[in-house]
Structure 1
Amino acid sequence: MAAVERDPQTTYNSRHFSLFIKSCCPNPTNPSHSIIIPLPPSNNNNKSPKNSIKTSISSLPDDLLYEILSRIPLSSLPAISAVCRRWAHLVHSPSFSLLRRNHRLLHRTIFAFSTSSVSTLRPFVDQKWKLPSQNDAVLGGGSVHFHTDFSHARLAVIGRKIFIINRSSALVFDPWTGLVKTRSGPLVPRKRFAAAAVCGRIYVAGGSLRASDVEEYDPHADEWRVVAHAPRRRYGCVGVGVDGVFYVIGGLMIGGASELRAAEARVCASSMDLYDVVARGWLRSRAVPGGGCVVAACGADGCVYVLASHAVELSFWRFNGRRKGEGGGGGFGEWCRMRSPPLPAQVRLDGTVKFSCVGVEDKVVLIQVMGCIDDLLRRSGRNVRGYKEGIVLIFDCVTEEWSRGPDLPELVQRAACVCVEC
């Protein structure tokens, strides 16, 4: 048996040990040493339900539920909304969105809708476009198919909901729940028309051979009504909403075939009509200074950005839409030519190549949704490569510089694009 080696500096005294034991046992004759610790009564009666209180997450007050639910990943939101009506009500409330924004869980996301798929991109966050089955993409990893032709559909965003408007029907898509619901369509059947969300309502114009009606949609009542008549009947136009104004831009003028009508049609392709949704009246029409044919437009940072096609080039313009004189760069209604997109020189777009323009805060994202520029250049006798389908170009409205973004997936063709905060 091994001997225990003691430290010579350590001394052991039995008297010290006995004093230590006495200090742990209080003297019952001394009141100051009496410590009474109350113990809960033993619960041996299992028959009383009042003695057993069960709590769950559903019994928490709304403010605590908000804090808990607002921190869950985006991919789990569809499942959370399906738990019960109370949770679904909390998810749909403005307070829920505000909390997710405070937690930095809301991101500006570009949606590219096509008949076969839906793809998303968070500019400067995602390295590539995401399909619903990838990573933390929206829809909780599921797949959604829209039985509609997105090459002619128009998209508008109110809050986080995306409204998909077709010829005579409409759908609303919620990225948080992944649900698609049917909504009332425009009163007048339209094709290749202008649509935009302004002040919480959706406005549509153009795309009709017989009517010049401008319609307003109330998302809460699910009702359309005619609010004005456009000064021009347009076909193939683009809609933009900035600072309380609905812009109807570009397109072909619908009318007779006289020489006067032909001249007006050329002007119409580079002009825009301005409708004040608050005053219920039309402002003075404007036109792109360089003429040409408007092929894409969007609103960003209080301005309207327009991409125009000319005989041998593309031009990019900024129209100041700030009506209260905020910010720099001149007053309301002033045009300024920006640097053209970094595409091959002397390229003229035809009907085979189409772009979609999306505003993302102080950025403009130009997305090639149809056609191939390489093929376009090859037909003109130029051997330039590197501009295939799905090119994405990003314009910084502050630095006025262009950059290249991740290309649109080949699976997403003839897409309609829009940006929503979700």
Structure 2
Amino acid sequence: MSESCNSRHFSWLMKSCFPNPNHKSLIITPQPQHLHHNPPAVSLTTLSSLPDDLLLECLSRVPSSSLPSLSLVCRRWFYLLLSPSFLLLRRQLHLLHPSVFAFSATDSGVFAATLSFSSPQRSPSSSWELSLCLPMNTASLHTIPRLVSIGPRVYIIGRNSMLRYNAWTHHVIPKSPFLFPRKKFASAVLFNKIYVAGGGGSKATSAVEEYDPETDTWRVVAHSQRRRYGCIGAAVDGIFYVIGGLKIGGACGNGNGGVEAHVYACSMDLYDVEARVWLRSRAVPGGGCVVAACAVAGFIYVLASHAVELSFWRFDARRKCGNGGGGGEGFGEWCRMISPPMPTQIRLDGTVRFCCVGVGNKVILVQVVGCIDDLLRRSGRSQRGLKEGLVLVYDSVGGEWSRAADLPEVIRRAACEKQTK
């Protein structure tokens, strides 16, 4: 063997490693394989290759628990889950499950929990489910915000900020705040737009604002007849109800620059959002202070406080029912209902607060905040049978109250609203 490498021999060695293309025995021709036991191969169609209408038909049939995962697949799927068509398909398939959404903001972050219903007519589930826990600090949300919902999206409206939470994807994103900073205002949804009125900030405002979710913009659409602070909003049959609260100042345009707090009101201002006109105001027959209200099946249900007791009222808001559609026969009528059974008779003042949520034919009454220990010590009453986070359910068909699961311990200073899952 040679001690050194010879280039001529090395070239021959390299050439010997490559087959001769002219040698027929080395030419390999691929032959088609005929598998008689399998059908002819067809081109594969993936789920993502389907057009939007067919893909929506498939996605709308998945369980609610899988929706958060589906939203992470791709940007296209994320936006399809947010589309009105997806909501419509879920409704047609009877896959929408209403729930009560409770939101609370603290120095530690924001928390939310949901109490689900299998259907709008049935009782709620036996426990709350913690659906949101984010280590974020939004100072304007620390005072109890207002919540409104459009389908699965819950808008959390603070004094000068707004967040949108999607119950299907669990995403929280910031949205445009309204034009006039305010707190303790009335809010409601009509025709897929948000309306706010009343409240106070650096100065009182009479402006009624409208929010368009499609463009993420606010605009002033009217000015309220009376400036209210701590008022409550509800909506039925195209009417925005601004209920209760402190009446601040006089009528709009009276030239009175001072802000004078008079008394807690037991009245309602009615604004027709289509006609852009104010209707005749209505008042709760028994007087008192309106502490909670909501809309259920064409009626406005109002909870009023009389210092030592609660009264519960129903207002017929079915304006377009009746002959000819020009006005319902019972529109504007009040009816006193059975008062909620409180565990202990206590003095009702600013330390005990409530919120009402309408779900199907039920009124969900939630005790959302209260310095109950201090209140009981002042009144000398026993704490037995009374606890924070009390949840009561009123069946508007049967006319009876029942007890539901209490709010979770982490949620006390909360705002509540209906959502769709």
Structure-2-length-normalised TM-score:
0.79
What SS does the corresponding residue of 1:196 show, helix, strand or coil? strand
Q: Aligned pair in 2 of structure 1 residues 52, 276: CA closer, same or farther (>3 Å)? A: closer
What does residue 188 of structure 1 align with? Answer: 180
2:115 to 113, 117, 121: 121
8 Å contact kept, 1:309–1:348: no
What does residue 369 of structure 1 align with? Answer: 368
Aligned residue pair count: 362
Structure 1: tracts of 5 or more residues without a match: 1-41, 46-50, 133-138
The answer to whether residue 90 in structure 2 is matched with residue 100 in structure 1 is yes
8 Å contact kept, 2:308–2:346: yes
Q: Aligned pair in 2 of structure 1 residues 350, 251: CA closer, same or farther (>3 Å)? A: same
Q: How does 1:310-389 map to 2 (within 5 A)?
A: 310-325=306-321, 331-344=330-343, 346-371=345-370, 376-377=375-376, 379-383=378-382, 385-389=384-388
Instruction: Choose 1 or 2 for highest CA Rg.
Output: 1
1:79 to 69, 74, 78: 69
Q: Aligned pair in 2 of structure 1 residues 211, 76: CA closer, same or farther (>3 Å)? A: same
Distance in 2 (CA, whole Å) between partners of 1:144 and 1:398 is: 38
8 Å contact kept, 2:183–2:199: yes
2:32 to 43, 68, 91: 43
8 Å contact kept, 2:87–2:151: no
8 Å contact kept, 2:246–2:261: no
1:244 to 238, 246, 265: 238
Distance in 2 (CA, whole Å) between partners of 1:313 and 1:204 is: 30
Q: Name the % identity.
A: 60
8 Å contact kept, 2:144–2:414: no
1:132-169 CA distance string (max 9 Å, x none):
3xxxxxx7xxx445533254311111222111111122
8 Å contact kept, 1:310–1:348: no
What does residue 30 of structure 1 align with? Answer: none
Q: Aligned pair in 2 of structure 1 residues 265, 271: CA closer, same or farther (>3 Å)? A: farther
Segment of structure 1 superposing worse, 221-230 or 68-77: 68-77
What does residue 280 of structure 1 align with? Answer: 276
What SS does the corresponding residue of 1:79 show, helix, strand or coil? helix
Q: Aligned pair in 2 of structure 1 residues 63, 221: CA closer, same or farther (>3 Å)? A: closer
Displacement of 1:339 in angstroms is 0.5
Distance in 2 (CA, whole Å) between partners of 1:74 and 1:145 is: 25
What does residue 17 of structure 1 align with? Answer: none
The answer to whether residue 43 in structure 2 is matched with residue 53 in structure 1 is yes
Displacement of 1:223 in angstroms is 1.3
8 Å contact kept, 1:298–1:359: yes
Distance in 2 (CA, whole Å) between partners of 1:375 and 1:393 is: 23
Distance in 1 (CA, whole Å) between partners of 2:278 and 2:71 is: 42
The answer to whether residue 262 in structure 2 is matched with residue 265 in structure 1 is yes
The answer to whether residue 154 in structure 2 is matched with residue 162 in structure 1 is yes
The answer to whether residue 108 in structure 2 is matched with residue 110 in structure 1 is no
Q: Aligned pair in 2 of structure 1 residues 326, 94: CA closer, same or farther (>3 Å)? A: farther
What SS does the corresponding residue of 2:89 show, helix, strand or coil? helix
Distance in 2 (CA, whole Å) between partners of 1:264 and 1:61 is: 59
8 Å contact kept, 1:313–1:345: no
What does residue 419 of structure 2 align with? Answer: 420
8 Å contact kept, 2:167–2:419: no
Q: Which amino acid aligns with 2:191?
A: C
Displacement of 1:246 in angstroms is 0.8
The answer to whether residue 171 in structure 2 is matched with residue 172 in structure 1 is no
Distance in 2 (CA, whole Å) between partners of 1:276 and 1:407 is: 36
1:286-330 CA distance string (max 9 Å, x none):
111111111111111111111111032111111111102369x96
8 Å contact kept, 1:169–1:183: yes
What SS does the corresponding residue of 2:340 show, helix, strand or coil? coil
8 Å contact kept, 2:322–2:329: no
1:36-77 CA distance string (max 9 Å, x none):
xxxxxx8349xxxxx873432223344543343223222321
Distance in 2 (CA, whole Å) between partners of 1:189 and 1:126 is: 37
Q: Aligned pair in 2 of structure 1 residues 264, 281: CA closer, same or farther (>3 Å)? A: farther
Distance in 2 (CA, whole Å) between partners of 1:212 and 1:365 is: 30
The answer to whether residue 392 in structure 2 is matched with residue 393 in structure 1 is yes
2:207 to 207, 213, 221: 213
Q: Which amino acid aligns with 1:310?
A: H
8 Å contact kept, 1:363–1:396: yes
Distance in 1 (CA, whole Å) between partners of 2:288 and 2:386 is: 23
1:77-97 CA distance string (max 9 Å, x none):
122122223323332233322
Q: Which amino acid aligns with 1:164?
A: I
Distance in 2 (CA, whole Å) between partners of 1:262 and 1:350 is: 23
1:336-390 CA distance string (max 9 Å, x none):
1111000157533112111111111111000011126576455323336212011
Segment of structure 1 superposing worse, 185-194 or 202-211: 202-211
What does residue 24 of structure 1 align with? Answer: none
Q: Aligned pair in 2 of structure 1 residues 263, 306: CA closer, same or farther (>3 Å)? A: farther
Distance in 1 (CA, whole Å) between partners of 2:268 and 2:262 is: 12
8 Å contact kept, 2:307–2:349: no
Distance in 1 (CA, whole Å) between partners of 2:372 and 2:340 is: 13
Segment of structure 1 superposing worse, 55-64 or 315-324: 55-64
Distance in 1 (CA, whole Å) between partners of 2:345 and 2:80 is: 54
What does residue 254 of structure 2 align with? Answer: none
Q: Aligned pair in 2 of structure 1 residues 195, 291: CA closer, same or farther (>3 Å)? A: same
What does residue 15 of structure 1 align with? Answer: none
8 Å contact kept, 1:154–1:164: yes
1:229 to 223, 226, 229: 223
Structure 2: tracts of 5 or more residues without a match: 1-30, 35-40, 118-122, 251-257
